[in-house]
Amino acid sequence: MRALPIVVVLLALGGCATQAQQEMSRLEGVASSSGPAIDACDQRLEQSAPYQALKGRLGPRDGAARIALKANQEKATPAEVQEIYALHQDYLMPCRKLRLELASKAHPAFVAVLAESYSKNDATLVRLVNRQISWGQYLTERDALSAEASASGAAVASALQKNLDQAHASELSRRQAAATALSNWAYQQQVLMQNQQMINAMNQPRMTNCQYVGTYLNCTTF
């Protein structure tokens, strides 16, 4: 009977969050808390003097470049190259660093996606400042790389979700198996105790008391 409280506790744990659920909750918390910091950094970048100077070339940051901008065959001027470097070093790099730090709190796979994307973007930017490609070509490649990074990030998130779902189901199965085993153990203990009680009852000393009543002998065992 002493095993029963253990079974009750274990069964109650079945309603607690699994490790997979806790990890998903943690990931959601990281994503939720990261948004304001990222938005603030992006806003500083968009309000910066270098970005404002290049806005006519780059177009809006919150969407794919307009078709007219992608058709621009002009190459970066020396003055624009200086603005590009200032924007990259003073504003873009801090935002990238922030994104990497926040991604590292979630999962290394997201860091890999971001780092790979930044590497490819910088390679394209080098070609722009070296006047090897036009502004239109740069924007076309930039948007393609952005879409590629988004797809890679979504694939990572999907794989993580699948792994967590499998881990969640596996943990629930192990919990149920443990609960069943403990329940069976508690039952066997009850059977054992009942047998012990029967044996004890059989082994208890018995006394027979006999009395004569006239010529009649009356014996009682108890």
Give the model confidence (pLDDT) of 172-214 as tens digits. Answer: 888 888 878 877 887 888 888 888 777 776 666 556 666 645 5
In Å, what is the CA distance from 106 to each residue of 32, 58, 100, 151, 157? 11, 31, 10, 17, 10
In a domain, 39, yes or no: yes
In a domain, 211, yes or no: no
Mean pLDDT check: name the lowest of 41-45, 175-179, 214-218. Answer: 214-218
pLDDT, tens digit, 9 for 90 and up, residues 120-145 = 999 999 999 999 999 999 999 999 99
In a domain, 105, yes or no: yes
Whole-prediction pTM value?
Answer: 0.71
DSSP H helices, the chain, are: 4-13, 19-47, 49-58, 67-70, 78-87, 93-106, 108-129, 135-203
If one counts the domains in the chain, the total is 1
- Which residues are paired to 221 by β-bridges? 208
Higher pLDDT, 92 or 28: 92
Higher pLDDT, 83 or 62: 83
* Ramachandran sector of residue 210 (left: φ over 0; alpha: ψ -120 to 50; beta: rest): beta
In a domain, 121, yes or no: yes
Q: Which domain holds residue 141?
A: 4-170
Mean pLDDT check: name the lowest of 36-50, 139-153, 163-177, 181-195. Answer: 181-195
Query: Is residue 10 predicted with pLDDT exceeding 60?
Result: no
In a domain, 188, yes or no: no
Buried b (16+ CB within 10 A) or exposed e, 145-181: beeebeebbeebbeebeeebeebbeeeeeebeeebee
In a domain, 199, yes or no: no
Tokens of 159: 């794989």
